[in-house]
Amino acid sequence: MAERYYWPRYGLENYSIVLFFEKDFDAYESTIWFQRNWYHSINVSLLYVILIYIGRRWMASQEPFALNGSLLWWNLGLSIFSLIVELGDTAFIVLRKRPLIFLHWYHHVTVLIYTWHACKDHNASGRWFMWMNFGEHALMYFYYAMSVTNIRFPKQVAILITTLQIFQMVASQSILLN
Protein backbone atom coordinates (compact mmCIF):
# COMPACT_ATOMS: atom_id res chain seq x y z
CA MET A 1 0.00 0.00 0.00
CA ALA A 2 1.02 3.59 -0.45
CA GLU A 3 2.65 5.45 2.32
CA ARG A 4 1.85 9.06 2.99
CA TYR A 5 5.48 10.21 3.15
CA TYR A 6 8.15 8.89 0.83
CA TRP A 7 11.82 9.64 1.21
CA PRO A 8 13.41 11.09 -0.76
CA ARG A 9 10.42 13.25 -1.51
CA TYR A 10 9.31 13.38 -5.15
CA GLY A 11 6.64 16.03 -4.89
CA LEU A 12 5.92 19.38 -6.48
CA GLU A 13 8.81 20.99 -4.60
CA ASN A 14 11.16 19.32 -7.10
CA TYR A 15 9.68 21.12 -10.11
CA SER A 16 10.50 24.63 -11.24
CA ILE A 17 7.21 24.93 -13.14
CA VAL A 18 3.93 23.66 -11.69
CA LEU A 19 0.75 24.09 -13.68
CA PHE A 20 -2.42 25.37 -11.98
CA PHE A 21 -4.18 21.99 -12.09
CA GLU A 22 -1.18 20.26 -10.52
CA LYS A 23 -1.03 22.41 -7.38
CA ASP A 24 -3.87 20.64 -5.60
CA PHE A 25 -2.96 17.13 -6.75
CA ASP A 26 -2.76 14.68 -3.87
CA ALA A 27 -0.38 11.87 -4.85
CA TYR A 28 -1.22 9.87 -1.75
CA GLU A 29 -4.99 9.90 -2.35
CA SER A 30 -4.43 9.20 -6.05
CA THR A 31 -2.35 6.13 -5.18
CA ILE A 32 -4.98 4.88 -2.74
CA TRP A 33 -7.63 5.29 -5.44
CA PHE A 34 -5.56 3.28 -7.96
CA GLN A 35 -4.97 0.57 -5.35
CA ARG A 36 -8.64 0.27 -4.47
CA ASN A 37 -9.79 0.32 -8.09
CA TRP A 38 -7.07 -1.69 -9.87
CA TYR A 39 -9.62 -4.11 -11.33
CA HIS A 40 -11.15 -1.32 -13.43
CA SER A 41 -8.13 -1.53 -15.74
CA ILE A 42 -9.34 -5.00 -16.69
CA ASN A 43 -13.00 -3.90 -16.88
CA VAL A 44 -12.15 -0.99 -19.20
CA SER A 45 -9.99 -3.28 -21.34
CA LEU A 46 -12.77 -5.85 -21.67
CA LEU A 47 -15.31 -3.14 -22.57
CA TYR A 48 -12.84 -1.75 -25.12
CA VAL A 49 -12.44 -5.13 -26.84
CA ILE A 50 -16.23 -5.73 -26.80
CA LEU A 51 -16.84 -2.30 -28.37
CA ILE A 52 -14.29 -3.09 -31.08
CA TYR A 53 -16.18 -6.28 -31.92
CA ILE A 54 -19.60 -4.56 -31.90
CA GLY A 55 -18.31 -1.59 -33.90
CA ARG A 56 -16.75 -3.76 -36.59
CA ARG A 57 -19.90 -5.89 -36.89
CA TRP A 58 -22.06 -2.77 -37.21
CA MET A 59 -19.70 -1.13 -39.71
CA ALA A 60 -19.79 -4.24 -41.93
CA SER A 61 -23.12 -3.03 -43.33
CA GLN A 62 -22.34 0.70 -43.28
CA GLU A 63 -20.45 3.06 -45.55
CA PRO A 64 -17.20 4.34 -44.05
CA PHE A 65 -17.53 7.65 -42.22
CA ALA A 66 -15.58 10.64 -43.53
CA LEU A 67 -13.99 11.80 -40.29
CA ASN A 68 -10.92 13.69 -41.48
CA GLY A 69 -11.67 16.89 -39.55
CA SER A 70 -12.42 15.05 -36.31
CA LEU A 71 -9.44 12.76 -36.82
CA LEU A 72 -7.13 15.72 -37.34
CA TRP A 73 -8.15 17.30 -34.03
CA TRP A 74 -8.15 13.98 -32.20
CA ASN A 75 -4.60 13.19 -33.29
CA LEU A 76 -3.36 16.70 -32.56
CA GLY A 77 -4.88 16.45 -29.08
CA LEU A 78 -3.22 13.09 -28.51
CA SER A 79 0.05 14.43 -29.81
CA ILE A 80 -0.06 17.31 -27.35
CA PHE A 81 -1.39 15.50 -24.30
CA SER A 82 -0.87 11.79 -25.09
CA LEU A 83 -3.51 10.84 -22.50
CA ILE A 84 -5.03 7.46 -21.85
CA VAL A 85 -8.04 8.63 -23.87
CA GLU A 86 -6.02 7.43 -26.82
CA LEU A 87 -8.21 4.32 -26.72
CA GLY A 88 -10.61 6.38 -28.82
CA ASP A 89 -8.28 6.23 -31.82
CA THR A 90 -9.60 2.72 -32.38
CA ALA A 91 -13.08 4.17 -32.94
CA PHE A 92 -11.72 6.20 -35.86
CA ILE A 93 -10.17 3.06 -37.36
CA VAL A 94 -13.40 1.08 -37.02
CA LEU A 95 -15.73 3.87 -38.22
CA ARG A 96 -13.54 4.59 -41.24
CA LYS A 97 -13.38 0.83 -42.00
CA ARG A 98 -9.61 0.78 -41.91
CA PRO A 99 -7.66 -2.36 -41.03
CA LEU A 100 -7.46 -2.92 -37.27
CA ILE A 101 -4.55 -5.15 -36.46
CA PHE A 102 -4.28 -7.27 -33.34
CA LEU A 103 -1.12 -5.47 -32.22
CA HIS A 104 -3.00 -2.13 -32.11
CA TRP A 105 -5.67 -3.12 -29.59
CA TYR A 106 -3.39 -5.57 -27.76
CA HIS A 107 -0.99 -2.68 -27.15
CA HIS A 108 -3.80 -0.49 -25.78
CA VAL A 109 -5.06 -3.21 -23.44
CA THR A 110 -1.66 -4.17 -22.06
CA VAL A 111 -0.48 -0.57 -21.65
CA LEU A 112 -3.69 0.40 -19.83
CA ILE A 113 -3.42 -2.50 -17.39
CA TYR A 114 0.35 -2.07 -16.90
CA THR A 115 0.23 1.69 -16.32
CA TRP A 116 -2.69 1.35 -13.91
CA HIS A 117 -0.68 -1.12 -11.85
CA ALA A 118 2.43 1.05 -12.09
CA CYS A 119 0.44 3.99 -10.65
CA LYS A 120 -1.07 1.80 -7.97
CA ASP A 121 2.27 0.39 -6.81
CA HIS A 122 4.51 3.41 -7.54
CA ASN A 123 6.52 1.15 -9.82
CA ALA A 124 9.72 2.99 -10.80
CA SER A 125 9.97 1.16 -14.13
CA GLY A 126 6.50 2.49 -14.90
CA ARG A 127 7.93 5.99 -15.10
CA TRP A 128 10.46 4.94 -17.76
CA PHE A 129 7.72 3.19 -19.70
CA MET A 130 5.39 6.19 -19.41
CA TRP A 131 7.95 8.64 -20.80
CA MET A 132 8.86 6.32 -23.67
CA ASN A 133 5.18 5.88 -24.47
CA PHE A 134 4.38 9.61 -24.25
CA GLY A 135 7.38 10.59 -26.37
CA GLU A 136 6.74 8.06 -29.10
CA HIS A 137 3.00 8.80 -29.13
CA ALA A 138 3.53 12.56 -29.37
CA LEU A 139 5.50 12.05 -32.57
CA MET A 140 3.23 9.30 -33.92
CA TYR A 141 -0.06 11.15 -33.40
CA PHE A 142 1.37 14.34 -34.91
CA TYR A 143 2.33 12.27 -37.96
CA TYR A 144 -1.21 10.84 -38.11
CA ALA A 145 -2.74 14.31 -37.76
CA MET A 146 -0.66 15.68 -40.62
CA SER A 147 -1.48 12.70 -42.83
CA VAL A 148 -5.20 13.53 -42.48
CA THR A 149 -4.44 16.93 -44.03
CA ASN A 150 -2.69 15.18 -46.95
CA ILE A 151 0.72 16.42 -45.85
CA ARG A 152 3.15 13.74 -46.92
CA PHE A 153 6.39 13.01 -45.15
CA PRO A 154 9.39 11.14 -46.52
CA LYS A 155 9.15 7.38 -46.02
CA GLN A 156 11.99 7.62 -43.48
CA VAL A 157 9.61 9.36 -41.02
CA ALA A 158 7.24 6.37 -41.02
CA ILE A 159 10.24 4.05 -40.64
CA LEU A 160 11.50 6.15 -37.71
CA ILE A 161 8.12 5.97 -35.96
CA THR A 162 7.92 2.21 -36.44
CA THR A 163 11.50 1.85 -35.19
CA LEU A 164 10.66 3.92 -32.11
CA GLN A 165 7.61 1.74 -31.44
CA ILE A 166 9.70 -1.42 -31.66
CA PHE A 167 12.40 0.16 -29.48
CA GLN A 168 9.73 1.13 -26.94
CA MET A 169 8.48 -2.45 -26.73
CA VAL A 170 11.98 -3.95 -26.45
CA ALA A 171 13.16 -1.32 -23.96
CA SER A 172 10.06 -1.65 -21.79
CA GLN A 173 10.50 -5.42 -21.64
CA SER A 174 14.15 -5.04 -20.68
CA ILE A 175 13.21 -2.54 -17.95
CA LEU A 176 10.58 -4.92 -16.60
CA LEU A 177 12.99 -7.85 -16.58
CA ASN A 178 15.69 -5.96 -14.66
Q: Indicate the Cα dihedral angle 103, 174, 10, 27, nearest 10°.
A: 30
Residues with Cβ < 8 Å from 157, sequence gap 6 or more? Answer: 143
Whether 100 and 87 have beta carbons less than 8 Å apart is answered as no
Whether 176 and 126 have beta carbons less than 8 Å apart is answered as no
Instruction: List the catalytic residues.
Output: 107
Residues with Cβ < 8 Å from 87, sequence gap 6 or more? Answer: 44, 48, 108, 112
